[in-house]
Structure 1
Amino acid sequence: MSPTLNARLMRSTGLGASLMMAVAVSATAAAAQTEPPASPESSTQLDEIIVTGSRIARKDYNSTSPIVTVGKEDFQATGSVTIDSLITDLPQFVPSVNSTSNNPSNGGQANIDLRGLGTQRTLVLMNGRRVIPSNPNGTVDINILPTPLIRSVEVISGGASATYGSDALAGVANFIIDDRFDGVQIDAQYGVTDRGDGETESYSVTVGGDIDGDRGNAVLSASRSTRQLIYNANRDFSAISGPSGTSPLGSTVFDANNLPNQTAINTYFGRAGIAATGGFGFNNDGSLFAYQGTRNYKSPGGIDFDGYANPGSDYAYNTGALNYLQLPLERWNLFSALNYRISDAVKVYGSLLLTDYQSANELAASPAASSTGFRVPVTNPFIPADLAALLATRANRGASFRLDKRFNDLGGRRAAEDYTVYQGTFGVRGDLVGLQDWTYDVYGQYGRSERTTTQSGNVSRSAVQALLDAADGGASLCTGGFDPFGQSNLSPACIAYIGRTTVNNTVQEQTVLEASLQGGLFNLPAGEVRFASGLQYRGDNFDFRPDASLARINPVVTRPDGGTTGGSEIAGFNPQQPLTGTTYSVEAFIEAIVPILRDLPFVKSLELNLGYRYADYDTVGGAPSYKAEVNWIVSDALRLRGGIQHAVRAPSIGELFQPLNTNFPSIGGVSATGLGGDPCDTRSSYRTGPNAAKVAALCSAQAAAAGSPNFIYTNNQVPGFAGGNPDLTEEVADSFTAGLVVTSPFRSAWTSGLSASLDYYSIEIEDVIGAVSASAMLQGCFNAQGQNPTYDQSNGYCQLFRRDPLSGSVIDARELNENLATLKTSGVDAQIDWRINLAEVGLPAWGDLNLNVIVGWLGTRERQDVPGGPEVDRVGTVDVVTAGQFNSFPEWKSLTSLNWSHGDFGLGLRWRYVDEMTAFTSGEVLNGTHYFDLNAQWSITDALTLRATVNNVADEQPQTWNPGAQANTDPSTYDVLGRRFSVGLSAKF
């Protein structure tokens, strides 16, 4: 990989041509195995360069911020068809939603998350300019980028608003596209796992060259890539996953104020101890089984019914088997660019990106339960005799009862995604006539993303309720009617009667206009003061139109028997309301590099990099950001760097205007030692711990049933709502970094190629925009970390949810956006690069060795939900998904590469390490995980290169825990595919 001080050179295009960032947070200095080829102009015509980290072009590369750089060869060594697989291996990233993220899923998108501060706080650039966001929160889908032309990726983590504006609190990933490609290149690659599934293919053709002599250059690249789906059932660790209390057999939880006689229940099951408040399922023969201890369960057979059917444990249905472990993908990409020099003062340029791709995710068949369930009248003709006998022991025998049901007859819930994204840029740049060494750049950019989501497997709740209420069980409405007691075996007519396919449409647009100039101001004794300034307008527009049935809310009606029906029309995919919003900003920025000292003892060079930006947002008003960084070259062998940054992020369209939508957040499973599940469950650590009496009293205050000594809750999810807040203010972040870079001063062949860097970073964000998750609400309300020491029902956490007075279950968990308190992270990044020539060190002349070691140590990762509340440190923990984000924070993470090259041949070994972690809610310990990958390359001719990879050579299985983030694990952090192979062929002429 590249020495610490190396960086990718970009063409000197003025300030607007490359949106450059100066950060106050460290990352590693370089991480590319091989220096990607520089463009012809950058190697032969440039006197000055622009590097990611500054707006100012200069003659040398002395970045005040460490840069992680990965090259095209590094990407090819992964054997993947999407570049996020390499990016998220770096210690600076917390893996986020990607190709193995089925639930939560962002529709097959690939998002990146620097420092685990959220994908919405990581700004993605392409050749220094913004990329059109992929959702209303401002997150970018890097699937849309032109993979064949990605020359390198430069990453600086930390606040960067002073240089780039909003969204850059965590940092910037700048994808360098080779828009001056010369020649013809054809590339093909095929990959497959050693289990024979998950096939991937990619093909590309790229053509480019000079036009009109050397006055201009044009490039055109077209590519296609595919990825086949893999089911959870295809892997042992995930085949049994996603436990749910909602089963195709159907079940009921009797109303707490109208329970069957406990003696009758004891007699029916032949034992005492099965609470009347628990769940009861319906066997296919008409008998009942108790969820508590899986008593009297008669399985129809199959992994979905038998997965969790363990006597003594609560019954749960296995929803995970037919969920996707790897999401399918079919992607077409087209990229073209043109540069033409009319004169030194006028150089026109433009580019067009077009991406069209399809993906999908699939969940278990639609469930309807609790607040989305149904009421069954006692007159329903399908009620089996055993159930009827228990119903007759209730105080109000004629009252309806609750029905929970999963509708397997309609198949899984599949969301098919179709994206069309294009982004065009046109600009003029050149030298300022009459001003030596000054350049200008003016450009406009427009991007548009269109997304169509087709969702199948939905159920009409009103149609199902009509079948249940019908005196004939619905036979007059559709052939055979609806028997919900046991497996239903609905007729095609009834499937058509209750089934719904929905189509949602989303359009997102972004417009950027920018004018900038830069050059030298004057000379000081220590050197030239260089300056840059500019103006920018940015406008974002988002329009989401859900299917009418998804947006439909039926009136809540109180039935004659006391039950209620109504609410969301659809059971299946979550109901959604339309979202339309627009935001814009006008911003001005300045930056200066000021040389302070030069050629003194212990000071070869000392300079300051100063920057200031003022942004006027239509939503939050004026917001300043600034930076001050130091670059101190002590000697050729030692350089010190560091600085501070004050950054801001304005709230996004989604965070501001998202309407109230139903969701079902995870709270984890109940545990006698962990923090997951409902604290009121009598088996939880809350109800059995030293404060059990206080917990029970608080549960009773919320709902009498919840405080009962027999209350149990067997689901891992609760019904709730999520939505935006138009009164949000901007987030504010302060960052600090301090580091050093050492380059070997020795001439020995063993040590001359040695370099290293060490950098400390600290980021603190205040007024964090986010929602308190349902699991955090419960933990806070019941004083898991000292949030409610008096166990007061009026505590703020307790007010974020309520309980159903009939069942005692949590309902209406309100995950609404607020400006929360603080989010902090700090740590150390280290890197070592060592290159040797075997012959020069006295060994056989067998080529070169290149070792690169990148290590990240996470010192703190604290979140405070409310001012004055506890700061919960999450270092070394992994948790269930919250707000669509994975939450894995290993204390140590590293990526090591050893590469050998000799003539036309090359071999490489990669070692990926993720430290051990503790499951935050359950307390389970996950061991540290080591992955080893091999790659090889053979230049058959000057024009033809063959490459091959073997990833996860040892077939290391992912760490699992209960309930896991998804598929019993975190599929973004851990390798879930197992050993896999790829082979690729490139021809360049």
Structure 2
Amino acid sequence: MFNKSKLALAVQLGLVLGSLATVTTISAQDTNTAEAAVEKIAVTGSRIKSLDQVANSPMLTVNADELNSRADITIDTYMNTLPQVNPAGTTTSNNPGNGGQSNIDLRGLGANRNLVLVDGRRVMVSSSAMTVDLNTIPAAMIDSIEVITGGAGAAYGADAVAGAVNLRLKSNFEGVDFRATHSNHAQERDAEEYNFSAVVGGNFDDSRGNAIIAFDYSKREGMIKSQRDFSANATSTTSFFPEGRYFSSGNNPSQAAVDAVFASYGSAAGSVPANGSLIGFNTDGSLFSAGVFNSPLDVENWRYPVDLSVNGPLFPDVYSYNFDAVNILVLPLERKTFSSKLNFDVTDKTEVFATASWTNYNSETALAPTPFPTVQVQGPDGTVSTRATSAFVSPGSTIANQLIIPVTNPFIPADLMTLLNSRTGDNAALVGSGATEPFLMRQRSLWGGLRGSQRDNTVVQYMLGIRGEINDAWSYDVYAMEGKTTIKQTQTGNLDTQRVMDLLAAPDGGASICAGGYNPFGRNSVSQECADYMTLDATLSREFNQRIMQGYVSGDLFELPSGMLSVVLGYESRRFDYELDPGSLSGPVSGFNTQSPAAGKNRFDDIFAEAFIPLLDGRDFADSLDLTLGFRSSQSQFTDIAKGISGEKDRNSAYKAELSWVIASDLPRIRASYQRAVRAPNFGELFDGGGSAPQYFDPCSASTEFRAANGQAGADLCSATGVGAPDSYVQTPGTQASINTSGNVKLKPETADTFTLGAVHNFSNGLAMSLDYYNIDIEDAIIAPNVNLIIADCYNYYGNNAALSGDYSSCQYIVRGGGDIFFLADPNTADGNIPGINSGFIKTSGLDFQAGYGFDTDMLGGAYIKLGLYANYLLEYKTQELDFLPAIDYADTVAYFGAGLGQSFPKFKVNLNASVNFGDLEWALKGRYIDGMKNRLAVEMPIETQPSGTSGIMYWDTAFTYRLGEHYSVRLGVNNLLDTEPELYAPNVQSGTDPSLYDVVGRRVTLSASVKF
């Protein structure tokens, strides 16, 4: 068997201070337990096995009991409560979505900038961003989780920019461990979750081998936003009405005609302007006006019920469709996992080990019915067209996100026809002029149902390895892993925009194509035949394949005056294949983003080395001083199979230096590290791209500080960028602008430098403490464009457009319609998509503090009390997207929609743990504090009045555990004991808050039972 006893002396210093998350402080009476736990040490950011190299970077460990304490069915739910983690893809990631997946995001640098490992080895990825879906990890097998947040690129390779999360599986387990949990909301009895898991393990062949199998079944009930008062109404607006919305677009009706029509409804003259886009349609053929926010122009002639489909907080000042009421707040989930683990001592010096796992889970996201159209139509010489309406567009012109309807459509209401007949102008982008020119409108398809996305994820992975001792000083470890992720996605609620426009262009309104045709003017019923004709269900499939081989040798090289110099030398090969089949989701589709077939390969060949060098030992000023050096050289190459493009072979290097200094045994150990990491662009950045529709702030709104400070020059710039009547234009709160990005095969790797400096100490009375400073600097960062920064730059918030010229480069991205910004498009690309680039930087720094204390007391019947605290203080989180934009510090800001998942940055986060053990009964209390923040928009548009932010918030969880003898235990717990509601602010991520950061469910009662033999 392997000789691992030389780690034992380091446990009291390293393992204790790295395990404060569990509040399992090692006091004098726990020494035997600590030495027994040495077998669990594997990941400390180094493969060197030596006395003083335990946790030379900030590290935190969570054991299985702590992980199960809240009865969470997914790992991310607990991990996102840790101060080092910025909640990113979670159970609430419906919109912005994350494909139903759960990710871990260290330091807020992105889930693609940290590694997720199992037993120190990479595992199967589940997205083109090369991120690991925590839903696919066999939770029943987890023994502990180790979080290293000081960077680990040299030790573990690309993506470990922010660090690594290692999930340690049970090892040499004997017996049966059966667990069952159930939870739901204490009052509403909704948000139900339950889980059943079983682990069976045993030794065989005279204990030379050990085999473990585990099964896990979990189910989570979904919630929609109308189930909670705070999320029932959208805090953003939409220009896509279920009733339909008319856009005058330059060829306006006369004011006299508008006044006459609305006078017949009892509205005063001038209450509805003729040069806007306020007019919608009642089902009785009359018209209504949507009004203008915070102005004398209120909603006029509304004839529908004022129910949850209407954004109640805004009505009747202004009408907007309330799309949030039917959106999902918590994603439903059903998961099944099977896993196994085997190790066998072939000889006393050779061990074979293997793992295999299978996970299948189903999740669902849902958005409000489709706003349409979301495609462009160009004239006959254009490259983007739909056959029914391209004939209505002038050559060389483009109509974006609008239905084009000829005046011959038979469903046009008489009152609307009165307005159309009064037109005398000309929209140059449309064929014709005056009363006979086609007109523009948009709608939302209530009759098409929700935009649903059901995902079936299956992940299979298996690994085989061998390790052993070469001699007394040297050992080896070799393994091969293969995995496959298959994701089948079924979408409902999409619209075939071509077919919609075919119906609208038909002289009979489409009645000859499907029963009844299509009447878009109001919330009119649509026959099932027409609904089937226009809607487009789609099935997409993604497949990822991963093959990894790694081998390394480690051992003692030679003796130095202060100890043995130990080294690790190794090689790693990683191969990734990716294929996307979009099925029917291509062409002029409105609803979910259309996608093209994609296929690619990535390959990495790495060589790595580490050396542990004891510099001093037993000196007056250095009880020990040790240095660890690490180096990794990685050669990468990608191939875009779909486009037939292969990139050049790139070679990049990562390296590190770590120092451990023990001045004296009764003084803190000083630890410091420097790490260089290199992250190669992933599949999504190289090939896929993506889209979003974030909220934006419009400087052209009449009441902004920009307009007040710049007078007529500001109004002229607004007019030059598409605002028809800048003096009367008022932005409705929460309007959104679409943006699409495309992959870029010319992207280069990011580089990151990480520096940490800290002190750790284990006091003789059992108190353990650590304090660490960290600084991470990412250069040539690949960052998705921020809509508000481009808008702010156009309107000279950063001093780059002092002349307030509409020809300034950032202004060219802005595309408006009816005053509002519809989308941002790159004028230099054929499709308007903005390609990813290496530009700017991300810098973050802060302090981590951990403390733990455990002691016996004569009070409370001789109870054992454990106390723990771990905190993060964020000094800065600064980014610069493009070299002509300012560097913005987002520390102390809360994210809004479009900023990206995991982009809320409280300055201060604290976790407090306390438990009292009475023998068979244990009581635990956990507190979690999240500091208040200002709104992210306040630092992006600094001259404007600051929008609402958040206040500090505290959550409390408590639980009682009773052990019925040696084999049985039950736990009754309450999460969010005080039923604390989430902090609300605007603009926000979604649901009036950041649902990943704050608890959106409320007080939850949990019941758990376990049986162990």
With structure 1 as the length reference, what TM-score do the two structures score?
A: 0.90
1:614 is matched with which residue?
A: 633
1:680 is matched with which residue?
A: 700
On the 8 A contact 1:123/1:167 being kept in 2, the answer is yes
On the 8 A contact 2:755/2:774 being kept in 1, the answer is yes
2:695 is matched with which residue?
A: 667
Residue 406 of structure 1: how far off its partner (Å): 0.8
On the 8 A contact 1:48/1:60 being kept in 2, the answer is no
- 1:416 corresponds to which of 454, 458, 461: 454
Looking at structure 2, the residues matched to 418 and 35 of structure 1 have their Cα atoms a distance apart, in angstroms, of 42
Q: Does residue 1:225 correspond to 2:218, yes or no?
A: yes
| Worse overlay, 883-892 or 438-447 | 883-892
Looking at structure 2, the residues matched to 337 and 865 of structure 1 have their Cα atoms a distance apart, in angstroms, of 45
Amino acid in the other structure paired with 2:287: L
On the 8 A contact 1:423/1:447 being kept in 2, the answer is yes
Q: Tell me the alpha carbon deviations over residues 328-353 of structure 1, each in whole angstroms, 9 at most, x when there is no partner.
A: 00000011011111113432111001
Q: Does residue 1:93 correspond to 2:109, yes or no?
A: no
Q: Does residue 1:172 correspond to 2:164, yes or no?
A: yes
On the 8 A contact 2:475/2:553 being kept in 1, the answer is yes
1:287 is matched with which residue?
A: 286
Amino acid in the other structure paired with 2:794: C
1:831 is matched with which residue?
A: 850
Residue 47 of structure 1: how far off its partner (Å): 8.7
Unaligned regions of 5+ residues in structure 1, if any? 1-9, 16-22, 553-567, 669-675, 746-751
SS at match of 1:938: strand
On the 8 A contact 1:255/1:806 being kept in 2, the answer is no
On the 8 A contact 2:311/2:319 being kept in 1, the answer is no
Q: Does residue 1:949 correspond to 2:985, yes or no?
A: no
Amino acid in the other structure paired with 2:573: Y
Q: Does residue 1:159 correspond to 2:151, yes or no?
A: yes
1:850 is matched with which residue?
A: 866
Q: Flag the 1:715–1:264 CA change in 2: closer, same or farther, 3 A.
A: farther
Residue 545 of structure 1: how far off its partner (Å): 0.8
Amino acid in the other structure paired with 2:476: Y
| Worse overlay, 67-76 or 293-302 | 293-302
Alignment of 1:238-637 (within 5 A): 238-241=231-234, 242-256=236-250, 258-267=251-260, 268=262, 269-272=267-270, 274-275=272-273, 276-293=275-292, 294-301=298-305, 303-308=307-312, 310-311=314-315, 313-369=317-373, 371-395=400-424, 396-432=434-470, 435-548=471-584, 550-552=585-587, 568=588, 570-619=589-638, 621-637=650-666
On the 8 A contact 2:841/2:880 being kept in 1, the answer is yes
Q: Does residue 1:655 correspond to 2:675, yes or no?
A: no
| Worse overlay, 780-789 or 81-90 | 780-789
Q: Flag the 1:182–1:784 CA change in 2: closer, same or farther, 3 A.
A: farther
Looking at structure 1, the residues matched to 108 and 192 of structure 2 have their Cα atoms a distance apart, in angstroms, of 30
2:389 is matched with which residue?
A: none
On the 8 A contact 1:452/1:506 being kept in 2, the answer is yes
On the 8 A contact 1:245/1:714 being kept in 2, the answer is no
Looking at structure 1, the residues matched to 136 and 817 of structure 2 have their Cα atoms a distance apart, in angstroms, of 45
1:211 is matched with which residue?
A: 204
Residue 919 of structure 1: how far off its partner (Å): 1.7
Q: Does residue 1:743 correspond to 2:762, yes or no?
A: yes
With structure 2 as the length reference, what TM-score do the two structures score?
A: 0.88
Residue 801 of structure 1: how far off its partner (Å): 4.0
Looking at structure 1, the residues matched to 909 and 95 of structure 2 have their Cα atoms a distance apart, in angstroms, of 25
SS at match of 2:308: helix
Q: Does residue 1:106 correspond to 2:98, yes or no?
A: yes
Looking at structure 2, the residues matched to 202 and 771 of structure 1 have their Cα atoms a distance apart, in angstroms, of 37
Looking at structure 2, the residues matched to 203 and 47 of structure 1 have their Cα atoms a distance apart, in angstroms, of 28
Q: Flag the 1:790–1:154 CA change in 2: closer, same or farther, 3 A.
A: farther
Looking at structure 1, the residues matched to 330 and 616 of structure 2 have their Cα atoms a distance apart, in angstroms, of 56
SS at match of 1:600: coil
- 2:999 corresponds to which of 972, 975, 979: 975
SS at match of 2:20: coil
Looking at structure 2, the residues matched to 286 and 14 of structure 1 have their Cα atoms a distance apart, in angstroms, of 85
| Worse overlay, 927-936 or 708-717 | 708-717
Residue 502 of structure 1: how far off its partner (Å): 0.5
Residue 312 of structure 1: how far off its partner (Å): 6.0
- 2:882 corresponds to which of 866, 879, 883: 866
Q: Flag the 1:185–1:808 CA change in 2: closer, same or farther, 3 A.
A: closer
Looking at structure 2, the residues matched to 649 and 297 of structure 1 have their Cα atoms a distance apart, in angstroms, of 58
Q: Tell me the alpha carbon deviations over residues 392-437 of structure 1, each in whole angstroms, 9 at most, x when there is no partner.
A: 12111111111211111121111001001011111111111xx322
Amino acid in the other structure paired with 1:261: S
Corresponding pairs, count:
928
Q: Tell me the alpha carbon deviations over residues 676-705 of structure 1, each in whole angstroms, 9 at most, x when there is no partner.
A: 2x3333344433x31344433333333363
On the 8 A contact 2:6/2:50 being kept in 1, the answer is no
Q: Flag the 1:311–1:414 CA change in 2: closer, same or farther, 3 A.
A: closer
Looking at structure 2, the residues matched to 343 and 808 of structure 1 have their Cα atoms a distance apart, in angstroms, of 71
2:10 is matched with which residue?
A: none
On the 8 A contact 1:881/1:887 being kept in 2, the answer is no
Q: Tell me the alpha carbon deviations over residues 615-658 of structure 1, each in whole angstroms, 9 at most, x when there is no partner.
A: 11115611011111110112233111112111110111111112
Looking at structure 2, the residues matched to 420 and 804 of structure 1 have their Cα atoms a distance apart, in angstroms, of 43
Q: Flag the 1:399–1:330 CA change in 2: closer, same or farther, 3 A.
A: same
Residue 137 of structure 1: how far off its partner (Å): 1.1
Residue 602 of structure 1: how far off its partner (Å): 3.2
Looking at structure 2, the residues matched to 190 and 261 of structure 1 have their Cα atoms a distance apart, in angstroms, of 64
Looking at structure 1, the residues matched to 603 and 33 of structure 2 have their Cα atoms a distance apart, in angstroms, of 36
In angstroms, what is the RMSD of aligned CA positions?
A: 2.6
Q: Tell me the alpha carbon deviations over residues 128-160 of structure 1, each in whole angstroms, 9 at most, x when there is no partner.
A: 011211111111111111111111110111322
Q: Flag the 1:349–1:35 CA change in 2: closer, same or farther, 3 A.
A: farther
2:790 is matched with which residue?
A: 777
| Worse overlay, 699-708 or 50-59 | 699-708
Amino acid in the other structure paired with 1:510: Q
Amino acid in the other structure paired with 1:718: A
Amino acid in the other structure paired with 1:743: N
Q: Tell me the alpha carbon deviations over residues 815-857 of structure 1, each in whole angstroms, 9 at most, x when there is no partner.
A: 4311121101011111121212112xxx353311111111111
Looking at structure 2, the residues matched to 280 and 102 of structure 1 have their Cα atoms a distance apart, in angstroms, of 31
On the 8 A contact 2:23/2:853 being kept in 1, the answer is no
Amino acid in the other structure paired with 1:831: Q
On the 8 A contact 1:771/1:817 being kept in 2, the answer is yes
- 1:78 corresponds to which of 66, 70, 74: 70
1:32 is matched with which residue?
A: 22
On the 8 A contact 1:30/1:67 being kept in 2, the answer is no
On the 8 A contact 1:681/1:711 being kept in 2, the answer is yes
- 1:641 corresponds to which of 671, 676, 692: 671
Residue 28 of structure 1: how far off its partner (Å): 7.0
Looking at structure 2, the residues matched to 974 and 790 of structure 1 have their Cα atoms a distance apart, in angstroms, of 43
Looking at structure 2, the residues matched to 47 and 923 of structure 1 have their Cα atoms a distance apart, in angstroms, of 52
Looking at structure 2, the residues matched to 978 and 145 of structure 1 have their Cα atoms a distance apart, in angstroms, of 27
